[in-house]
Amino acid sequence: MDGNEIDNIIHAGTFFVVYLFVMIALFFFLSGPVSTILTGIGTAVENTPTQIYMDRYLPSIDRAVWMVFAIGASVPMTWFIFWVFSRDPFQGLMRIR
């Protein structure tokens, strides 16, 4: 293995499983507090002139946070799938002198 290049499917699969576990754990640990913070921001501005803007933009911000979690989990999944199928098969042919 040269540098940071992964050339073994066992290493790549292990890296993928560990990364996916970390992303799922981050999602479960951070989704509740992030939703609570966004809800708190939305309720802190009630009966103020900025409530109109918060009612308009807070759902979009909430969706953006969920999309960041989804992209964080799907990028390595896509990388792993493309990495597995990008390999040329070894045919074992040698040139005879």
Token look-up 């807070």 returns 58
Is residue 1's pLDDT more than 60? no
Distances from the Cα of 71 to the Cαs of 8, 25, 74, in angstroms?
25, 15, 5
- Give tens-digit pLDDT for 16-32: 889 889 988 988 898 88
The whole-chain average pLDDT of the chain stands at 81
Domain of 66 in residue numbering reads as: 31-78
Please list the alpha-helical segments (H only) found in the chain: 9-44, 51-85
CA distances from 6 to 11, 13, 92 (A): 7, 10, 22
Q: Is residue 26 part of a domain?
A: no
- Residue 40 is assigned to a structural domain of this protein: yes
Total domains present in the chain: 1
The residue assigned the tokens 């597995």 is: 84
Give domain status of residue 60, yes or no.
yes
Task: Please write the tens of the pLDDT for every residue from 47-63.
Answer: 888 888 888 888 898 89
| Alpha carbon distances (Å) from 39 to 22, 30, 45, 55, 58 | 25, 14, 10, 11, 9
